[in-house]
Amino acid sequence: MRALRFLLRKEFLQIFRDHTIVAMLFVLPLAQLLILANAATFEVKSSRMYVVDHDHTPMSRGVVDRLSASRRFILTGASQSLALADEAMLGREVDAILVIPDGFERDIMRQHSAPVQLVLNAEDGAAAAVTQAYASRILTDYSAELGAQVSPTLASVGATAEPPPVSGSGVIDVRQRGWFNVDLEYTDFMVPGILVVLVTLVGTLLTAMNIVREKESGTLDQLNVTPVTRSTFIAAKLIPLWSLALLDLALGLILAWVVFHVPMRGNLLIVFFAAAVYLVAALGIGLWISSIAETQQQAMFVTFSIMLIYILMSGIFTPVSGMPEWAQWIAEVSPITHFVRLMREVLLKGAGLADVAGEIGILAVTGVVVLTLAVRQYHKRSA
């Protein structure tokens, strides 16, 4: 234990003496958090709409008015030419083209039904699907409104033999509510995720390069001929960056609270307890890589690949439920998935210890496994 004290002192001294490393540990993640937290949104603000109205009737203008009044659509161009509209879309100037065919009003009056064409730029598929949903909602509302105007007319014309409908025009009043995040603030959701990614990225990379760096410079052999035990050595490598990463996370949470007003509904002690467990697992992976790799370059490669899988498959940015089942399994294996899930549950939903005990358990098991692997992988004597 005494040896550990001296080794820890040495590791801390080495970290703080390298100003680049200190800057990367604190400035880089926090600065990126401030910028990137704003970026992770699918929020479909408004679509630029080009209108080709062949009908020129009050009703066709009504369709255009309703769509643009919703502020989901902004009218950016109109003409009679489909070719012009198409060119605008190819040139990324508009996102949607609304085509109202000739005889729209006439068909509504006569057949109570008329088509409109909505061409959406599906270069971004998810956004297009949402836009489509909005458009159909707006059009349905408008048709219900038209129905009220038109029906009396129809009744007075009395051309059809059928009796007036019993089901009326069928008005459905839909109310929406998003629980846990009433205002749908995506930053509330993204800030914890991005914070964890950034802290993990920096922490794991530094850990991964730590042992291999001593290998390259020859100081590792010097340590290996001393009586320092393997677990003391690994502990000395883990604890400094682990505590700095915890500090990083704490600073990030303060930023999240002050700048982004992320709610802190649950008990922060749970978050930090889980973070302490999580960081052992995450940085332990770095140590493991470091004890396998021969050069810093190799360590960087392997870490990079693992990080990318972490980041892209953990459900932080894209929903896990959209992934195929085998991919969901990969996501389940990554500790980052569990920790981000836990942070969101505790911060946003106010989940208690009992609610997240499972996640903490998984993190703890991962931590133990990874550390055991790292200690076993690290040999003082090469075979």
Partner 1 sequence: MTHRSPALTAFMTKEVRHILRDRQTLTILLLLPLAMVVLFGFALRNDVNDIRIVFVDPAPDYATTALRDRFLGNGRFEWVATAPAAADVEQFFRRGNADVAVVFEQGFAGRLAAGTPARILVVSDASDPNTGSRMQAYAIAVIASYQAELGAAGRGVRIVPETRMRFNPTLESVNLFVPGLIALVLTLVTALMTAISLSREKERGTLEILLVSPLRPWQIIVGKVLPYLLLAFANVITALLAAWIIFRVPFRGSITLLLLASMLYAMVGLALGVFIAARTSSQRAAMLGALTGTMLPSTLLSGMIFPIASLPGWLQPVTFAIPARWFIIIARGIMLKGVGLAYLWQPIVVLAVMLVFLMLLAIRSFKPRLA
Partner 2 sequence: MTLAIDVHELTRRFGNFTAVDSITFHVEEGEVFGFLGANGAGKTTAIKMLIGLLAPTSGRASVAGYDVLTQAEEVRRHIGYMSQRFSLYDDLTVRENITLYGGIYGLTDTQIRERGDALIRDLRLGKTADERVSALPLGWKQKLAFSVAILHQPAVVFLDEPTGGVDPITRRQFWEMIYAAAARGTTVFVTTHYLDEAEYCDRVSIMVDGRIAAMGTPEELKREHRVATLDELFVRLARPDATAGTAADHSSASGYE
| Contacting positions for partner 2 (CB under 8 A) | 2-3, 5-7, 9-10, 13-14, 17-18, 217-219, 221-229, 380-383
**Which of partner 2, partner 1, none does residue 115 bind (CB under 5 to 8 Å by kind)?**
partner 1
Within 10 angstroms of residue 81's Cβ, the number of other Cβ atoms is 9
Site residues for partner 1, 313-342, by CB under 8 A, read 313, 317-319, 321-324, 327, 330
**Do the beta carbons of residue 347 and residue 192 sit within 8 Å?**
yes
- The contact mask relative to partner 1 for 100-139 (x = CB under 8 A, - = no) is --------x---xxxxxxxxxxxxxxxxxxx-xxxxxx-x
Number of residues that bind partner 1 (CB under 8 A): 121
- The contact mask relative to partner 1 for 34-63 (x = CB under 8 A, - = no) is -xx-xxxxxxxx-----------------x
Within 10 angstroms of residue 308's Cβ, the number of other Cβ atoms is 10
Closest CA to 144 of 111, 169, 163: 169
**Nearest-approach distance from CB 4 to partner 2, in angstroms:** 9
Q: Choose the binding region for partner 1 from 7-15, 173-181, 231-239, 274-282 (rule: CB under 8 A).
A: 173-181
Which residue lies nearer to partner 2 by CB, 200 or 291? 291
**Nearest-approach distance from CB 232 to partner 2, in angstroms:** 9
Closest CA to 99 of 78, 116, 115, 83: 116
Strand partners, 74: 48
Q: Angle at CA 312, nearest 5°, toward 346 and 21?
A: 80
**Nearest-approach distance from CB 198 to partner 1, in angstroms:** 7
- The contact mask relative to partner 1 for 1-30 (x = CB under 8 A, - = no) is -------------------xx--x---xx-
Residue 268 touching partner 1 (CB under 8 A): no
Strand partners, 51: 78, 98
Residue 153 touching partner 1 (CB under 8 A): no
Residue 181 touching partner 1 (CB under 8 A): yes
Written as one string, the DSSP assignment of 321-374 is GGS-HHHHHHHHHSHHHHHHHHHHHHHHH---HHHHHHHHHHHHHHHHHHHHHH
DSSP 49: E
Which residue lies nearer to partner 1 by CB, 87 or 229? 87
Which residue lies nearer to partner 2 by CB, 105 or 214? 214
Which residue lies nearer to partner 2 by CB, 181 or 232? 232
**Nearest-approach distance from CB 153 to partner 1, in angstroms:** 11
Helix (H) or strand (E) holding 283, with range, is: helix 268-292
Cα 101 to chain center, whole Å? Answer: 40
Which residue lies nearer to partner 1 by CB, 147 or 276? 147
Site residues for partner 1, 238-257, by CB under 8 A, read none
**Which of partner 1, partner 2, none does residue 124 bind (CB under 5 to 8 Å by kind)?**
partner 1
Which residue lies nearer to partner 2 by CB, 45 or 381? 381
Q: Is 160 helix (H, G, I), strand (E, B) or coil?
A: coil
Q: Which of 53, 95, 214, 248 binds partner 1 (CB under 8 A)?
A: 95
Query: Distance (Å, rounded) from C-alpha 202 to C-alpha 246?
Result: 12
Q: Is 97 helix (H, G, I), strand (E, B) or coil?
A: strand
Instruction: Give Cα separations from 343 to 73, 248, 252, 279, 340 (angstroms).
Output: 36, 15, 13, 13, 5
Site residues for partner 1, 347-376, by CB under 8 A, read 348-349, 351, 355
Q: Angle at CA 226, nearest 5°, toward 220 and 227?
A: 130
